[in-house]
Amino acid sequence: MHRFTLAVLLSLNSPLLVSTEQYKVEGPLTGHFQQWLQKDGYTDDFVRADLMVTQGSYGGKTSDEQKVTKTPIIFIHGNSDAALRQFRASSDMVGWENTIDYFQKKGYSSAELYATSWGDTNPLHSASRKHDCATTQRLRRFLLAVQAYTGADKLSLITHSMGVTLGRKIIKGGKIQASDGSCDLGTPIRNVDVFVGLAGGNYGLCNCEGMGVAEPTCNKQDGLWPGDSCGMNYLAH
């Protein structure tokens, strides 16, 4: 069994730091990976060309000859962000652009770095995001697709904000009774080598305390409700 390292970091140095540079990294998923996904029967929109065409996803080999020599890393972004930089009139969401650029400078290739966007980038919709079946099943399929495509015996995940709790759930697997129905993610994924969680609401969000289902993202079923005594629960852990 492979080592599993869980790193939960509460840091201001998140992947959302704004850069004044234009794109350092551009997607989407390579043509090679897209062809493999189609051939293997995946129907999910992992490319997300609706998000500025090139910025909704990243990763994949450029040809059959390209080798995967390092443990592939899957990046899961937070609420209202995207895989790569999204320019908006009122904000500059960097996604994983700076982080992927860092790994590339350390010798990683696109065959070893993967991201797909979930949700949309409208911050006005942030209170509606949940750990529902549609989102968790899609991200779980992406993880399994990367594993099968690369042929790697282990994977690593780097996650941020709501991506932390989504990432933990897709690894853990199991049944979900969610707002969009019930589903079973399957058995736990045991070949995750390193899991990095940046500023994740692992015990829920205290600003959801007492709200119940007032905001969808705070609901008790598949949201970030922290319990009835958030402050006490936080101190206990």
Quick: pLDDT tens for 112-159.
999 999 999 888 999 999 999 999 999 999 999 999 999 999 999 999
What's the whole-model pTM score?
Answer: 0.87
Domain with CATH 3.40.50 in the chain: 5-202
Judged against a pLDDT cut of 50, whether residue 182 lies above it is answered with yes
pLDDT at 4 over 90: no
CB of 50 closer than 8 Å to CB of 28: no
Cα separation of 165 and 72, whole Å?
20
- Do 55 and 26 touch, CB atoms closer than 8 A? yes
**Residue 119's pLDDT is what?**
92
Cβ neighbors of 206 (< 8 A, separation 6 or more) are 226, 230, 231, 234
More confident residue, 193 or 203: 193
Write the CB contacts of 148 (distance below 8 Å, at least 6 apart in sequence). 40
**CATH of region 5-202:** 3.40.50
Interval 212-237: pLDDT, tens: 557 889 988 899 888 877 765 544 54
Please determine, for residue 90, whether its predicted confidence score (pLDDT) is greater than 70: no
